A and B are shown apart, each in its own frame.
Chain A
Amino acid sequence: MKIQILGSGCQNCMKLAKNAEEAAKAKGTECEIVKVTDIKEIMSYGVMQTPAIVIDGKVKSVGRVLSVEEIKKLL
């Protein structure tokens, strides 16, 4: 499973990445977490609000820092 965190590297993006990591660990899911900071790539997902979370190529949430619990539900 591949999780991508889209965002310029602001505080919220880092928080979201950390929550994703925790969620994956808690669920025991094997996954790779990648931070996408390049604006061209971010826009290619059709996203206008950051941070956004993309799981296996699908945009799951935009403009919000999801909690660990919320991410667990997505995995």
Chain B
Amino acid sequence: MWRKGHFMLKFLADSLVYTLMGIQPGTRLGDTLHFFFYDTTKVFLLLITIIFVVAVIRSFFPPERARKLLGHRREYVGNFLAALLGIVTPFCSCSAVPMFIGFIEAGLPLGVTFSFLISSPAVNEVALVMLWGLFGWKIALLYTATGIAVAFFGGILIGKLKLEHLVEEYVYQIKMGEAEMAVPTWKERIEYAQGYTKDILKKVWIFVIVGIGFGALIHGYVPMDYVLKYAGPGNPFAVIVAVLLGIPLYSNAAGTIPIVQALVGKGLPMGTALAFMMSIVAISAPELIILRNVIKPKLLAIFTGIVAVAIIIVGYLFNAIL
């Protein structure tokens, strides 16, 4: 079915660009337009279906459930479970504060809480769809496994450093109530998933189009191996620069992945590309600003540092083995 879909989309892009627009295949303009139409239709189809499915799964895992499941876990098992739950629990940086407090109040060790806080934004559905659509499922899976590993080890390290005193004092004084929430019906889950998909699409569609547009231009007009000269294996600092660049970029996660994909086509090593993409989604300025409400600047810096270093290590590791 996947192959059939691929042929359908290719046929559509072929007929649109080569037949309807009358542009010759093999020309720069033809390649660029074909790349653009093929990738945008593919990515939007994937976005709609995957986000919908993810949203249905998420309706089964509200953060209140993660809180209960993690409440009595110790280190290691807790870190691993938190990293996994981070993927399926809906996360919005606007809810980072109540989530953080809820976890700490339930007695979760700080390190376990951070495993959740790292994996939740790092492995998000939009990034996964873009990776799957543009790089294939193997890279998407590799990215997910890497995100879980970074969250697991990062959380353990933060736990070992015993930084509980760097959490704002008021957090420990809050008592959380018990909300009686009705279990949603299937109809409600579907409605939630539809609304969620619409919201995400509304937020990212422009980035997707602009990103793929830029990617298509790079694909069609930037000479082969151009990137190889600057960010290829010949530059030992490429991964570090890529990760540092990625930290302040956030809202453009949907837009950056197509550009990164085009750059990979021009010789950017896969490890550097993966590290760059992960630093874009895992650490973001708005999330850090919000987390500042519950943790002190020093812990914020330690958290950012640990995640950045972990991603850099992953980048070099993949450059070495891929």
Q: Which residues of A pack against B, CB within 8 Å?
A: 7-8, 10, 12, 39-40, 42-50, 58-59, 62-64
Contact = CB atoms under 8 A, between A and B. Distances in A.
Contacts of B98: 39, 42-43, 47-50
Interface residues of B, number: 27
Contacts of A59: 179-181
Contacts of A45: 177, 179
Given A44-B175, A47-B179, A48-B63, A63 B102 contact: no
8 contacts: A44-B177, A46-B64, A48-B62, A49-B63, A49-B90, A59-B180, A59-B181, A64-B192
B54 to A, nearest CB: 15
Nearest to A39: B97
Given A40-B173, A48-B63, 18 more contacts: A39-B98, A39-B293, A40-B170, A43-B101, A44-B177, A45-B177, A46-B64, A46-B178, A46-B179, A47-B98, A48-B62, A48-B64, A48-B98, A49-B62, A49-B92, A62-B62, A62-B181, A63-B90
Contacts of B177: 43-46
Contacts of B175: 43-44
A74 to B, nearest CB: 11
A58 B97 contact: no
B95 A49 contact: yes
B174 interface: yes
Contacts of B195: 64
B161 interface: no
Contacts of B64: 46, 48
Contacts of B97: 8, 39
A63 B102 CA distance: 14
What 4 pairs across the A-B complex have the smallest Cβ distances? A46-B179, A46-B177, A48-B102, A48-B63
